[in-house]
Structure 1
Amino acid sequence: MSRPLCLPPCSAETRYASEHHLGKYVECLHGILGGGFLVLIPAAVFIGLHNDDSCGCFGHEDCGKSCAMLSSVLAAFIGIIGSGYCIIISALALSHGPYCFTHLERNWIYPFTESSGGYLFEYNRWSECQEPHNIVQWNVTLFSILLVLGGIEFILCFIQIINGILGGLCGLCCSHEETYAC
């Protein structure tokens, strides 16, 4: 009976998490909470706006779409908070560098904290991190992707805030020339 090839590498991958050797920025879960969950809320609202057949707002049947646009501003603001959280934590993580074991200190530390992100361009210093293997590359890749995605989410939510305010206040759907059947 042959042994599965995946056992040693798979069990080693969770070792650092079970030994509490994850960096403080990884534990913030900003990609899941900020850039993920808090941005899904406005995404669901924005998709619902397209399919919304609003028929009334504070007793005015012809202003339903306008109120829906104004309510989308609140949802977009939640998205701004989530994406902002993702951007801030990602930038801090890139600035401070990874949490790793170094042979110089013989301890788990943040060896690049004093460089304020300068380590990103000093590839020869990346070998200071001995464990986990390739942690600097992983750290740079993960947090760069989250930074860019958080920035895109921030921009889209900001545009929706402007769109919602203009659509709600200018009466996109409250024109008396158009009649909507409720």
Structure 2
Amino acid sequence: MLIFYHQVRFLVSPPGDADGNAHARIVCEVANAQNITAWNTKCETWIHQIYVRCVLGIKLFPKIHIGRTVHQAMIARLWTRVALPGSVLSTDATLAAAGVYVTEWDFGSIQINSNTPTGCTAPNLINFQITIPIADAFWDPPIVGGVPTPFAVFVPGTVVGTNFVIDLFDVQQEVLAAQ
């Protein structure tokens, strides 16, 4: 699991863990042995936290052999607090009311529950890239009465670019190479 932390001073401390560490803003949850329902529930539990701006979930399914080739189905879901191209409002009523959107990619070497190849066959395919605004890692609004207030996100000048871009073909190839 990847967790990005950013420390700033607050008028009222934001939620954190028992050791006082600030909550993650961007969370990545990878499931290999977990079933899809447990994985999805865990990802949705993360995004219920108001300080979590997005959750990237990656689910790896069991490997299968087709001829001499090993294949693996994989899906990625991105839960965000802004509508992104291709995203839909969450089917969870509480998350939908909070403005959480979900985007899903079927990016393994084969589709889920079939032997049909996915379109994720090369790097840099726009339909298999996940874009997360870098500003999400620095989202730290003041808390007034337990509610985040509007503010301008400050991204340090040493940070280059406006987005994290994750190429799912690269993820697919790393998973397949780890067999």
For normalisation by structure 2, the TM-score amounts to 0.28
Q: Which has a greater percent of strand?
A: 2
Larger relative CO (CA 8 A, sep 6+): 1 or 2?
1
TM-score normalised by structure 1 residue count: 0.28
